[in-house]
Chains A and B, each alone.
Chain A
Amino acid sequence: AQKITQTQPGMFVQEKEAVTLDCTYDTSDQSYGLFWYKQPSSGEMIFLIYQGSYDEQNATEGRYSLNFQKARKSANLVISASQLGDSAMYFCAMKRSGAQKLVFGQGTRLTINP
């Protein structure tokens, strides 16, 4: 079975600082994908970034990067130069390759202070 753990219920960061959101996962699959989503108060899940288990380089998308450490089974999200609009819930998720079902963690509420 797959499991995602996000140990930080809440994070408070000053605007313009970088922030790391933790995610660890458990799976017996060799091929899988890891995802991060942002969920603002409006409720919609917004896809941020993806990392494949066989990708050798860490994924980056603008201000988002994924610190992938396969041996430690961690996939932390790094947001550089945080902005007030980054305040939201952030969810880590995974799925096995070839499947479509996502398994989500409990989420981390990020608050950016001016």
Chain B
Amino acid sequence: EAGVAQSPRYKIIEKRQSVAFWCNPISGHATLYWYQQILGQGPKLLIQFQNNGVVDDSQLPKDRFSAERLKGVDSTLKIQPAKLEDSAVYLCASNPPGTRPKYFGPGTRLLVL
């Protein structure tokens, strides 16, 4: 089966610019996550979707970050405006509900200058 797809793989922007990341989960996986992984740290959950509903966004900086999963399949994560500290790898993951979190995408590496 195809894995979790993410694009772009790399992005370089200047601070105060906007950026968007895209994730296509494994077909049939209702649960989708976005994680932020700052260099030298473990991933931190930003937001979790169940189909197109938000389950947990407690650690999402809502003043600048937004995410949507309109049809319960693909998802986009947006940062507007970006700050230097947003430089990180953004990982998307998916799994069927009630199963162990196993499936991660390759990530998008963001550098904010």
> CB of B31 within 8 A of chain A?
yes
Asked whether, in the complex, the Cβ of A35 is within 8 Å of the Cβ of B101, the reply is: yes
Does B44 reach chain A (CB closer than 8 Å)? yes
B84 CB, min distance to chain A CBs, angstroms: 21
The verdict on A33 contacting B100 (CB below 8 Å), with A4-B42, A45-B43, A102-B45 known, is: yes
Nearest chain B CB to A34's CB is how many angstroms away? 11
Contact of A45 among B45, B91, B109 (CB under 8 A): B91
Name the A residues within 8 Å of B43 (CB-CB): 45, 91, 102, 104
How many angstroms between the C-alpha atoms of A26 and B5 in the bound complex? Answer: 33
A93 contacts chain B at the CB level, 8 A cutoff: yes
A66 to chain B minimum Cβ distance, whole angstroms, is 14
Q: Is B14 an interface residue (CB 8 A)?
A: no
In the bound complex, residues from chain A placing their C-beta under 8 Å from that of B20 are none
Do A104 and B42 form a contact, CB below 8 Å, given A43-B107, A44-B105, A45-B93? yes
- Which residues does chain A contribute within 8 Å of B41, judged by CB atoms? 106-107
Select one of B56, B89, B102 contacting A43, CB under 8 A: B89
Report, as a range, how many residues of chain A touch the other chain. 20 to 34
A50 interface contact, C-beta 8 A = yes
- Separation in Å of the A111 CB from the closest CB of chain B? 16
CA distance A100 to B41 in the complex (A): 20
Looking at the assembled complex, report how far the CB atom of B15 sits from the nearest CB atom of chain A, in whole angstroms.
23
A-side residues, CB < 8 A to B, are: 4, 33, 35, 37, 42-47, 50, 91, 93, 95, 100-102, 104-107
Q: Which residues of B are in contact with A by a Cβ distance under 8 Å?
A: 31, 33, 40-45, 48, 55-56, 89, 91, 93, 95, 97, 100-107, 109
User: Which 8 pairs between the two chains have the least Cβ-Cβ distance?
Assistant: A104-B42, A45-B104, A47-B102, A43-B107, A44-B106, A104-B43, A91-B42, A101-B45
- 4 more A-B residue pairs beyond the given contacts A100-B33, A101-B56, A105-B42, with a C-beta to C-beta distance below 8 A: A43-B89, A43-B106, A45-B43, A100-B95
